Amino acid sequence: MRIGASATTRINTRAYERGLRRALGGMSDDVKRAVERTRIDVQNEARRRAPVDTGRLRSSIVSRSEGSGRTVGYVVGTNVNYAAAVEYGTAPHVIKPKNKKALYWPGARHPVAQVNHPGTRAQPFMRPAVELAETFFRANLSQVRAGRGRR
């Protein structure tokens, strides 16, 4: 699978696990649940921030869990080939025809040999979502711990 833009987040859960084990003993399942909820939160935040023209980019943002045992994590990404250009923008560049002698599009006055594209501004959607991962994790861990106490 070709990835247009993706982000991997690793959260250092050792300090959280130590405190949880001291307080309640063997709470790594709670940490795993908090990481899983964080994965979904980061994915949803990236989708929320993704600019929408056709909706293809937004709907392509997916995530998956990684790791096992004491190492858990996730990957959030997209396989849309233009995602990186949206995330980081593009510099001014020249567009030339690949298979023909000239470029033409509906509304053009005449075919042209090349087009000087001014570039596009960055519209970050993945990086801001990843930057919120720790905030999401802390909130999710608190919710998981609070839910555990109510059982």
For position 23, what pLDDT does the model report?
Answer: 56
Sketch the domain layout of the chain as residue ranges. 5-88+122-150
Distance CA 84, CA 81 (A): 7
Whole-number Å distance between alpha carbons of 34 and 77: 20
Structural contact between residues 32 and 20, judged by C-beta atoms closer than 8 angstroms: no
**Cα dihedral value 100, 105, 111, 113, nearest 10:** -60
- Strand 115-117 and strand 71-78: pairing? unpaired
Per-run averaged pLDDT (10 residues), the chain, 151 residues:
60 69 60 92 98 96 85 90 96 94 92 95 97 95 77 40
pTM across the whole model: 0.74
